[in-house]
Amino acid sequence: MRERYGPQRSLPLSAIAVLALAIMVSFVGLAGCLERGDDEAHGQDDADPAPVGSYRQDMRDFVQNISAWAKGQREGFVIIPQNGHQLMTANGLANGTPVSEYLGAIDGVGREDLFYGYEEDNKPTPEVQSEGMVPFMDIAKGNGVRVLAIDYCSGMANMDDSYAKNAAKGYISFAADHRDLDNIPAYPAKPYNVNSNNITSLAEAKNFLYIINPGAFADKAAFLCALRATDYDVIVMDLYFDDEPLTVSEIASLKTKANGGSRLVVSYMSIGEAEDYRYYWQPGWKDRKPTWLDHENPDWEGNYKVRYWDPAWQSLIYGNDDSYLEKILSAGFDGVYLDIIDAFEYYEESEGS
At 24-59, the pLDDT tens digits run 333 333 333 333 433 333 333 344 434 434 999 999
Pairing verdict, β 303-306 and 273-275: antiparallel
Instruction: Name the DSSP class of 92.
Output: S
Closest CA to 214 of 206, 204, 224, 205: 224
Helix, strand or coil, per DSSP, at residue 248? helix
Domains of the chain, start order: 15-352 (3.20.20)
- Count of CB atoms within 10 A of residue 74's CB? 13
Mean pLDDT of 331-350: 96
pLDDT of residue 353: 64
Does the pTM of the predicted model rise above 0.85?
A: yes
Q: pLDDT digit string (tens) for 78-133?
A: 999 999 999 999 999 999 999 999 999 999 999 999 999 999 999 999 999 999 99
Helix pair angle (15-31, 344-352), 10° resolution: 90
Single-letter amino acid, residue 247: T
Where does the pLDDT of residue 351 fall: very low under 50, low under 70, confident under 90, or very high at 90 and above?
Answer: confident
pLDDT of residue 19: 39
pLDDT of residue 317: 98
Closest CA to 307 of 343, 353, 255: 343
Q: pLDDT digit string (tens) for 310-329?
A: 999 999 999 999 999 999 99
Please state the φ and ψ torsions of residue 157, each to the nearest 5 degrees: -65, -50
Lowest pLDDT segment from 48-57, 65-74, 334-343: 48-57
Position 190 pLDDT exceeds 90: yes
Ramachandran class of 84: left when φ > 0, alpha when ψ lies in -120 to 50, beta otherwise? left
